[in-house]
Chains A and B, each alone.
Chain A
Amino acid sequence: EIVMTQSPATLSVSPGERATLSCRASQSVSSNLAWYQQKPGQAPRLLIYGASTRATGIPARFSGSGSGTEFTLTISSLQSEDFAVYYCQQYNNWLGTFGQGTKVEIK
């Protein structure tokens, strides 16, 4: 089973600043990686898939990069609605796994 490790666990950022979240896979997943956002009491929402493609309706301030084992989600200028928990997820050989999440909180 591929293990996904996210860092940091918590990221304190001021509104308007840039946030950079990392996700590492225990073995190569090529570009088979997605990012989700989850707010309290809500189901997760897909942000990025295929490592770098924004899902429908996702603002351009969200961008994803990476391939193989190292991936990054960047939020270029944090808005108040972006404070949430972010998860990466890989899918390989009919099996998916999520990272443990990064909480983005207001500094």
Chain B
Amino acid sequence: EVQLVQSGAEVKKPGESLKISCKGSGYSFTSYWIGWVRQMPGKGLEWMGIIYPGDSDTRYSPSFQGQVTISADKSISTAYLQWSSLKASDTAMYYCARPIAAGDNWFDPWGQGTLVTVSS
């Protein structure tokens, strides 16, 4: 069974750094892109960016370029989303997701989500 398991909820202060994770299992991790999606409280879905763990090729939405870093460690089948200096506006649920097929662009399955709360 293909699964994406994300790290647990985080509570941070503004200015702190953070790295959340997404571990893939049940498939060839290096053969599929993994994407990250933000959902702010009570709001819609926002496509943040994608990474190909096979060669770490990464693409960002213009809205998130320079705001976050997406990376992957193929040796442990894990993708990451990180911030160097969090802001209150980064408070959101963050999902990782994998395309349905190696050459496709549509996300399924999804991770369970990681809730990030940034508050002083």
Query: Which residue, of A38, A46, A87, has the highest number of chain B Cβ atoms within 10 A?
Result: A46
Does A98 make an interface contact (CB < 8 A)? yes
**A32-B105, A43-B95 as given contacts; A98 in contact with B45, CB under 8 Å:** yes
**A34-B106, A55-B100 as given contacts; A100 in contact with B95, CB under 8 Å:** no
Interface residues of A in 63-95 (CB under 8 A from B): 85, 87, 89, 91, 94-95
In the complex, the answer to whether B45 meets A49 with C-beta atoms within 8 Å is no
Binding site secondary structure of chain A? strand
Question: From residue A3, how far is it (CB to closest CB) to chain B in Å?
Answer: 12
**B residues in contact (CB < 8 Å) with A:** 35, 37, 44-47, 50, 59, 61-63, 95, 97, 100, 104-108, 110-113
Provide the bound-state CA to CA distance between A1 and B111, in Å.
26
Question: From residue A60, how far is it (CB to closest CB) to chain B in Å?
Answer: 18
Question: From residue B36, how far is it (CB to closest CB) to chain A in Å?
Answer: 11
In the complex, the answer to whether A97 meets B105 with C-beta atoms within 8 Å is no
In the complex, the answer to whether A49 meets B106 with C-beta atoms within 8 Å is yes
Question: From residue A98, how far is it (CB to closest CB) to chain B in Å?
Answer: 4
Chain B residue with minimal CB distance to A100? B44
Number of A-B contacts (CB under 8 A): 67
Chain A residue with minimal CB distance to B112? A43
In the complex, the answer to whether A49 meets B100 with C-beta atoms within 8 Å is yes
A94 to chain B: which residues have CB within 8 Å? 50, 59
B59 to chain A: which residues have CB within 8 Å? 94-95
A32 to chain B: which residues have CB within 8 Å? 105
Provide the bound-state CA to CA distance between A21 and B105, in Å.
22
Chain A residue with minimal CB distance to B104? A49
In the complex, the answer to whether A46 meets B108 with C-beta atoms within 8 Å is yes
Question: From residue A88, how far is it (CB to closest CB) to chain B in Å?
Answer: 10
5 residue pairs of the A-B complex, CB under 8 angstroms, read A1-B61, A45-B110, A96-B47, A96-B61, A98-B37
**A95-B47, A99-B44 as given contacts; A46 in contact with B62, CB under 8 Å:** no
In the complex, the answer to whether B61 meets A97 with C-beta atoms within 8 Å is yes
In the complex, the answer to whether A96 meets B105 with C-beta atoms within 8 Å is yes
Cross-interface CB contact of A44 among B63, B100, B110, cutoff 8 Å: B110
**A32-B105, A44-B110 as given contacts; A96 in contact with B35, CB under 8 Å:** yes
